[in-house]
Amino acid sequence: MKLIVDTSILIDHLRGGNAWKKIAGEIDDDTQLFVPTIVLFELFSGTSTKDPVNVRQIYKLLSNFQRLDLSEAVARQAGELYRDTKKTLQVPDYIIAASALQMNATVVTLNKKHFAQITHLSLYPLP
């Protein structure tokens, strides 16, 4: 299984939430974990990253994931999703969704309501 992890899961974990711990406990060793580099942009846009301790925590967490750079195919599909759907998502979310669609992967997010608007997008079943 391929999982693309959204910023909301990582922020929840960094703030002491349990969503990532639950997911990590459910997945098997064959699961591939990815984080699009746009997620790094979202993580580092917060003022808490001015603190080097927080930066170290972020990189420690990110060490569990393979990075996904923004390819031309993903950029095109993200643009098409933006063009063809309601504009209720933020631009990084379209890139995350397009990354998952291109890879036939499942998105892990706490913002299911937003991502559910993207047709054919697989969402990880969180409680």
Q: What pLDDT is stored for residue 85 in this prediction? A: 87
Q: What is the largest CA-CA distance in the chain?
A: 41
Residue 106: its pLDDT value, please? 97
Q: What does the pLDDT profile of the chain (127 residues) look like in tens digits? A: 999 999 999 999 999 999 999 998 889 989 999 999 999 999 999 899 999 999 999 999 999 999 999 999 999 999 999 999 887 889 999 999 999 999 999 999 998 988 998 989 999 998 6
Q: Which CATH class is domain 2-123?
A: alpha beta
Instruction: Tell me the C-alpha distance between 65 and 32, whole Å.
Output: 8
Q: Which pLDDT score is estimated for 14? A: 93
Concatenating the DSSP letter of every residue in 54-114 gives HHHHHHHHHTTSEEE---HHHHHHHHHHHHHS-TTS-HHHHHHHHHHHHHT-EEE-S-HHH
Query: Which pLDDT score, from 0 to 100, does residue 17 have?
Result: 92
What local confidence, expressed as pLDDT, does residue 61 receive? Answer: 94
Instruction: Please identify which residue in the block is written with the tokens 């639950």.
Output: 22
How many angstroms separate the CA atoms of 106 and 89, rounded?
18
Q: What share of the chain is helix, strand, coil (3-state, %, to 5)?
A: 55, 15, 30
Alpha-carbon 125 to chain mean position: 14
Determine the pLDDT at residue 113. Answer: 87
What pLDDT was estimated at residue 87? 79
Does the reported pTM lie above 0.75? Answer: yes
What pLDDT is attached to residue 114?
87
Residues with Cβ within 8 Å of residue 61, at least 6 apart in sequence: 10, 13, 14, 20
**pLDDT attached to residue 44:** 95
